[in-house]
Structures are given as structure tokens and as C-alpha cells.
Amino acid sequence: MSPARHDRRSIIERALRLLDEVGLPDLTMRRLATELDVQPSALYWHFPNKQQLLAAVADRILEAVPQPDAAAPLPDTARAIRDALLAYRDGAEVVMSTYALRLGARRAQDALTASLGDDAGDALADAAFEFILGHSALLQQRMHAQSIGAVEPDAADPAHRADLVFDAGVRSFAALSAARRPS
């Protein structure tokens, strides 16, 4: 029996499942190929390298972010991005590495630009996205450390505090955007 054929979408979906199961450090092309019952070289037919695969995975993670909409309030857009990043183990790190190399992740930035108002400029949208990425990566690291017992949940820093910090940051970006608008 010959191995099943896989398209880009099925490879990305399996990579996401594997990401949730083993995390980014153990998501290798070899391991993914084994999961798909193909030779590693078969993956390179669809993705020239691991970074291109991760860019496609990042774009898939961000599909949950609503289309750019100038009527969408910034807090709603920011929360949608954070929720998308937190939906997958190491999701923030995957998107962050892709963003750092400018290989993808435009959907989130475009949604932020629309919510901030086009007059806010790309720099403010980039700063907001970097804040969301950093905040989400920090949350994921804490959650992972707690899940493996590396640290105890800190009663002095309850989970709702993370929401308070996130909301304060988003309000700061909204205020900056409003201050830049012509009167």
C-alpha cells in the first residue's frame, strides 16, 4: 500500500496537532513526516524549509482573527488575536518567529491597523501586535511551566491579573491612536 498523498492544508493541520501534542521544540520535519507516513523529502515538495512551514502554520493560527474592520473596537481585535495565539500550544512563539522573519502574520497586523484607524500608521499597529505577541508568549510560558509542575501557581498573581495587564496595554494603544487622529 502506497503512502497517502498530502496537500499543504493537510500537512499544516497535522503540524498544528503535533504542535499541541509535543510543542515547538519537538516539532521537526522528520517527526512530522513520520506522523504523515511519508519521507521527510516529501514535505519539502510543499515547503522549502521549516521556516516556511511554520509561516504557513502561523497563518493558519491567525485565521481565527476576524477580517480587518475599521468598525471593530481595538479591544475586541486585540483579544481575538490573543485568543488565536493561545488556542495552540506555543502558538505565540510560532507566530512570533514568523513575524520576526517577516514571513507571514499580516492578518493580525491588518486587523489592528483597521481597528486603530489607518491614520495611526503601521508602526503603532506593529507595536500593538508585538505587545500582544509578548504578552501571549509570557502567558504560554507560565501555563506550560505550571502544567509540568515546574512552578506553583502564584496566589499573589491570579490569572485575572494577566487580563488586567493586557487590557491596560490595549487601552494605552487606543489612547495613542486617538491622540494621533486629526481634530
pLDDT at position 91 is: 96
Is the predicted pLDDT of residue 24 greater than 70, yes or no? yes
User: Looking at residue 45, which CATH number applies to its domain?
Assistant: 1.10.357.10
Q: Provide the whole-model pTM.
A: 0.88
Helix and strand element counts for the chain (H, E)? 9, 0
The C-alpha atoms of residue 164 and residue 152 are separated, in whole angstroms, by: 21
Residue 84 maps to a domain? yes
Specify the amino acid at residue 29: M
> Alpha carbon of 67 to those of 31, 106, 181: distances in Å?
33, 11, 23
Residue 125 maps to a domain? yes
pLDDT, tens only, 109-168: 899 999 998 666 678 999 999 999 999 999 998 888 877 788 776 655 656 788 999 999
SS3 call for 28: coil
Number of separate domains in the chain: 1
pLDDT at position 157 is: 61
Residue 2 maps to a domain? no
The C-alpha atoms of residue 38 and residue 57 are separated, in whole angstroms, by: 19
1 pLDDT band, cuts 50/70/90, is very low
The C-alpha atoms of residue 80 and residue 165 are separated, in whole angstroms, by: 16
Residue 3 maps to a domain? no
Residue 171 maps to a domain? yes
Please, is 38 exposed, middle or buried when counting C-beta atoms within 10 Å of its C-beta (0-12, 13-18, 19+)? middle
Residue 93 maps to a domain? yes
| Full DSSP string of 20-48 | HHH-GGG--HHHHHHHHTS-HHHHTTT-S
Cell output for 120: 495611526
The C-alpha atoms of residue 85 and residue 138 are separated, in whole angstroms, by: 11
* Residue 86 belongs to domain spanning: 8-180
